[in-house]
Amino acid sequence: MTATAESEPKTLSWKVGGMDCAGCAAKIRGAVERLPGVDEVKLSIMSETLTLSLDESKTKPEAIEKRVGSLGYTTSALAPAKQAGSSESAGGPHQAPGDACCGGHDRKHDHGEHQHGDRASCSGHDHASHEHGHADAKADHGHGLPGHVHEVTPEGVSWYQTNKGRLVLATGALLAAAWTASLLWPAAAHWAFILACLIGVAPVARRAFAAAGAGMPFTIEMLMTIAAVGALFIGAAEEAALVVFLFAVGEVLEGVAADRARASIRALGDLVPKTAIVETDGTTQQVDAASLKIGQIVLVRPGDRIPADGEITDGVSGIDESPVTGESVPKTKSAGEPVFAGSVNRAAVLRIRVDKAAEDNTIARIIRLVEEAQEARAPTERFIDRFSRVYMPAIVGFAVLVALVPPLFLGGEWSVWIYRALALLLIGCPCALVISVPAAIAASLSAGARQGLLMKGGVVIEAAARTGIVAFDKTGTLTKGTPRVTDVIALEREEREVLALAASVEAGSSHPLAEAVLERARTDGIRFSPATEASAIPGQGVVGKLDGEEIFVGAPRHATSRASFDEQATAFVAQLESAGKTVAAVIVDGTLVGLIALRDEPRGDASEAVAELKAMGIRSTMLTGDNARTGAAIAGSLGLEHKAELMPDDKVAAIRALSSQAPVMMVGDGINDAPALAAADIGVAMGSGTDVALETADAAVLKSRVRDVVAMIRLARATMGNIRVNIAIALGLKAVFLVTSVLGYTGLWVAILADTGATVIVTANALRLLRFNASKIG
């Protein structure tokens, strides 16, 4: 290997034990970014991973591990297999920075369009298979400030079995013993309180000095250490011991509360069975579900959970997909239809061909997207982080002034004002303020994922909450996306031949309108041969050749340039379109040979969703490439505005025009609406766990229900309301107790109780979102 090759940066990843909050991530990032040769630092809090680009000629990997370890965290290098393909994978936890994965509009689309009106077919996504690298989220045991080190709590371990739990029990026992000694042996009570304080503050002090050594002196641990030791020096040993005990109790309580949000995500992973029955040459064998390979056939018995994403090859059964989509009504599925890992087989034995590896199944991708969404910080969260970096030094400076100015210039007692300054340090900690936003965001993301609503981070939640206009695509969004052929008008050829010609050029397409034509041809028993040189003309239709004849199937308004329409044909088109039907003209070598009419009925909940949006003060509009008459018929039945006959770039222009009036949410199928989804303030894809629905837009509605768009906005607004309440609680309590501490009305133990209490209150308030029913009105 050449010297040049040796110095090329490599992407390396580590599992970081104890990184459980935004403060931890900020601390680690700040520490490793200072090392030479380190670039593109990326941290995933939920999966506890650190990924960075490293020039090993300047800094060795061991130096990274040493630096992170000095901060109180554990590190273990991830195997190369878990790093490979990061930049190619669609959102893995070790994805290289800069890749489009979660939110914003930095998205790549690979879409081949094939349209009749607003229809299109996707050329597909060739997603690289990648390692998930997901590990169970660990409990959050702290305040979320830089310098606050969290221990890893294994699943199933009770709080009192953790180091911090044992510390609470030990300091509590010493405190009780000291109080008992004060009654039985008063002379020893003072030393018993000092011992309880020193034992309790020792681990806190170690973390404080580790953070200070990393360039972060203003941490809650440092404030706590100064306050406890200072109290000992002014003779307040009893209060010092009580403060340390309450601080330890607060940490445990916060950890228990915060772990509930992570547990809801862990529960998603538990939906996928650990084992699977593989069928090979008529024999079956039970294997680890994580080891399943693409192409293998698995046997799923009634009552069992499906172990992998795949396609049914044999059997008919009711499938409960509620773990994936939140839809409670089982769907009857048969050979050729897709199924998702974690779904429950309700009725009969099924044979399923595995289509995706365990690390890339739908449940794994949902978990991964929720994990990554934690990294897409909301603007409010970023502002609070910047505020806290100024606020902490300001509080320390104010406390110094409180300790020095009254004794030096106003004749105050040193012990009194030092005591008040120490109380001020404790109450001034912005723990509750810092955790108020990420706690609510995490709970909201978890609640949404369980209800089939995926939002990719705090940025998306804030954008959804501000939505003033919702723009809907028609086909597959407001309508069912499963049209059927209602009329075949034969003009120059027989009816069966007109259908055969259309089916020939539509063969192989997965677009709903194409499938409707193919289904009608199969139902009528019409034989046809696939056309050659078939290709889509974006926004117009599809063209191909059969037996030397050129066939075009597309919207009449685009077909008029290829063939003449007489009065009879024009009248047929007007009559069909006025009935809300989509018309496709079939042209052979420049001659109009027939018309095919299709109708796609609105979804059952579409009109209800539009009414709910109106009640929330949100405008609704429909953007469709279909003809004006069909668009007007559908929009009129639903009671919303509309724009019809729009090409893909016209939809983008319409979105931009709407954006000048209010923030716009665009809702589409994630395929032909990709440009409009990207142009909107927030793009929402409809789809039951498809790659496009999960990875293209800012958010996804897995149940494909229009009312869930309303539910998403309702959840986002509830989240922002929760955040505002949390900020008010945090700042309000700080303001009250800052004043009372300076005036001497509250002491050290009240100060730490107020600080810890505020943190627990805002965390508990945020966790209320876990029970939020977004589909409930009011």
Whole-number pLDDT of residue 123: 33
Higher pLDDT pick, 487 / 702: 487
CA atoms of 24 and 148, how far apart (whole Å) = 7
Identify which of 106-120, 143-157, 371-385 has the greatest average pLDDT: 371-385
CA atoms of 525 and 544, how far apart (whole Å) = 22
CA atoms of 270 and 741, how far apart (whole Å) = 48
pTM: 0.61
Q: Is 731 helix (H, G, I), strand (E, B) or coil?
A: helix
- Is 473 catalytic? The answer is yes
How far, in Å, are 106, 124, 204 from residue 658 at the CA level? Answer: 21, 30, 54
CA atoms of 551 and 668, how far apart (whole Å) = 30
Region 154-170 average pLDDT: 67
Angle of helix 22-33 relative to helix 431-450, nearest 10 degrees, comes to 110
CA atoms of 422 and 748, how far apart (whole Å) = 7
Region 457-466 average pLDDT: 87
What element of type H or E holds 237?
Answer: helix 237-270
Contact 339, 305 (CB under 8 A): no
Whole-number pLDDT of residue 734: 80
The answer to which of 63-77, 344-358, 492-506, 705-719 has the lowest mean pLDDT is: 63-77
Write the pLDDT tens digit of every residue in 116-153.
Answer: 333 333 333 333 333 333 333 333 333 333 333 334 44
Region 51-75 average pLDDT: 85
Write the pLDDT tens digit of every residue in 398-411.
Answer: 888 988 998 988 88
The answer to which of 232-236, 550-554, 586-590, 661-665 has the lowest mean pLDDT is: 232-236
CA atoms of 215 and 146, how far apart (whole Å) = 10
Termini Cα distance of the chain: 66
Residue 87 neighbours by CB under 8 Å, 6+ apart: 11, 95, 96, 99
Higher pLDDT pick, 83 / 225: 225
Query: Above 80 in pLDDT, residue 755?
Result: no
Query: Above 90 in pLDDT, residue 737?
Result: no
CA atoms of 99 and 108, how far apart (whole Å) = 9
Region 76-81 average pLDDT: 70
Contact 95, 40 (CB under 8 A): no
Whole-number pLDDT of residue 125: 34
Query: Above 70 in pLDDT, residue 65?
Result: yes
Region 743-764 average pLDDT: 78
Query: Above 60 in pLDDT, residue 6?
Result: no
Query: Above 80 in pLDDT, residue 340?
Result: yes
Q: Please give the share of the chain, as a percent, with pLDDT higher than 90.
A: 21
Q: Please give the share of the chain, as a percent, with pLDDT higher than 70.
A: 76
CA atoms of 181 and 187, how far apart (whole Å) = 8
Region 317-329 average pLDDT: 70
Residue 719 confidence class, pLDDT cut points 50, 70, 90: very high
Residue 500 confidence class, pLDDT cut points 50, 70, 90: very high
Residue 373 confidence class, pLDDT cut points 50, 70, 90: low
Query: Above 80 in pLDDT, residue 102?
Result: no
Whole-number pLDDT of residue 360: 82
Residue 9 neighbours by CB under 8 Å, 6+ apart: 37, 39, 53, 54, 55
Query: Above 80 in pLDDT, residue 581?
Result: yes
747 secondary structure, DSSP code: -
Question: Residue 177's Cα: distance from chain center in Å?
Answer: 49
Whole-number pLDDT of residue 158: 66
Write the pLDDT tens digit of every residue in 12-42.
Answer: 999 887 665 556 677 788 778 878 889 888 8
Whole-number pLDDT of residue 130: 33
Residue 187 confidence class, pLDDT cut points 50, 70, 90: confident
What element of type H or E holds 544?
Answer: strand 541-546
Whole-number pLDDT of residue 111: 33
Write the pLDDT tens digit of every residue in 247-287.
Answer: 777 667 655 655 655 565 666 677 788 899 999 988 889 99
Which neighbouring-strand residues pair with 54?
A: 10, 38
Residue 438 confidence class, pLDDT cut points 50, 70, 90: confident
Contact 113, 686 (CB under 8 A): no
Query: Above 50 in pLDDT, residue 710?
Result: yes
Residue 7 confidence class, pLDDT cut points 50, 70, 90: low
Point out the catalytic residue in the list 259, 304, 309, 473.
Answer: 473
